């Protein structure tokens, strides 16, 4: 993501060392955590998509898993420079560089420049972005058929943990902050955009959801 409201401390927090660690774990273990949960939701719903918009795509886990499963092409949007570089390198290593378009920037700023996709995904992105309404609306508008995301559940445990993590970052001089947004508001924004939940998984900390478009209007070009 680019230098905007979501990017305070992004490059410091999502560093090259962290990107390398995540890439090593992915190569060793495959998709884990919320990424694996989102992929399971897609499999359960038998989602078929030819194009993906991967917002805050990190090192490219969702891109590679879905491309291996039949996806045609992906657009990978990322703010953190180190993660974007790691994702590019991994795509080249796997021979998929020609099927992934890498875009540096804040999705809210650059959404008008992007084409709609069959599937839009945001794995652990909402919790990094303070402007919830803008983020949900801009990404939902690009979802031709499906929108999927993972985010912290709106109860005491995530709130306490996020509060502690933000306090620790503040003491260390790290300006990056994370957020627990009201889940009810997330679903209300999606509903207003013509998207309804198909499958929801609620873990102790994270919630993962797959939504499908319910209206017949096209995603915004």
pLDDT by residue for the chain (221 residues), tens digit each? 333 434 557 877 889 999 999 999 999 999 999 999 999 999 999 999 999 999 999 999 999 999 999 999 999 999 999 999 999 999 999 999 999 999 999 999 999 999 999 999 999 999 999 999 999 999 999 999 999 999 999 999 999 999 999 999 999 888 899 999 999 999 999 999 999 999 999 999 999 999 999 975 444 44
What does the domain layout of the chain look like in residue ranges?
Answer: 10-213
| Predicted pLDDT at 8 | 54
Q: What is the pTM of this model?
A: 0.92
Residue 203, Cα to own-chain centre: how many angstroms? 18
Domain 10-213 matching CATH 3.40.30.10: the answer reads: no
């Amino acid at each position: 993501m680019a230098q905007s409201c979501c990017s305070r401390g992004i490059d410091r927090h999502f560093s090259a060392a962290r990107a390398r660690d995540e890439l090593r774990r992915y190569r060793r273990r495959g998709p884990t955590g919320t990424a694996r949960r989102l992929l399971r939701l897609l499999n359960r719903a038998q989602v078929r998509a030819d194009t993906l918009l991967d917002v805050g795509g990190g090192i490219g886990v969702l891109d590679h898993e879905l491309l291996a499963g039949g996806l045609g092409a992906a657009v990978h949007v990322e703010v953190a420079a180190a993660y974007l570089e790691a994702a590019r390198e991994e795509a080249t290593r796997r021979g998929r560089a020609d099927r992934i378009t890498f875009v540096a920037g804040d999705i809210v700023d650059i959404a008008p420049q992007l084409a709609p996709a069959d599937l839009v995904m945001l794995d652990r992105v909402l919790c990094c972005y303070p402007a919830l309404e803008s983020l949900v609306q801009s990404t939902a508008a690009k979802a031709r058929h499906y929108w999927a995301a993972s985010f912290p559940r709106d109860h005491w445990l995530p709130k306490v943990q996020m509060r502690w993590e933000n306090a620790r970052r503040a003491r260390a001089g790290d300006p990056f902050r994370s957020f627990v947004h009201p889940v009810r508001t997330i679903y209300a924004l999606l509903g207003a955009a013509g998207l309804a939940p198909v499958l929801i998984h609620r873990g102790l900390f994270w919630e993962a959801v797959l939504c499908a478009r319910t209206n017949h209007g096209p995603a915004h070009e």
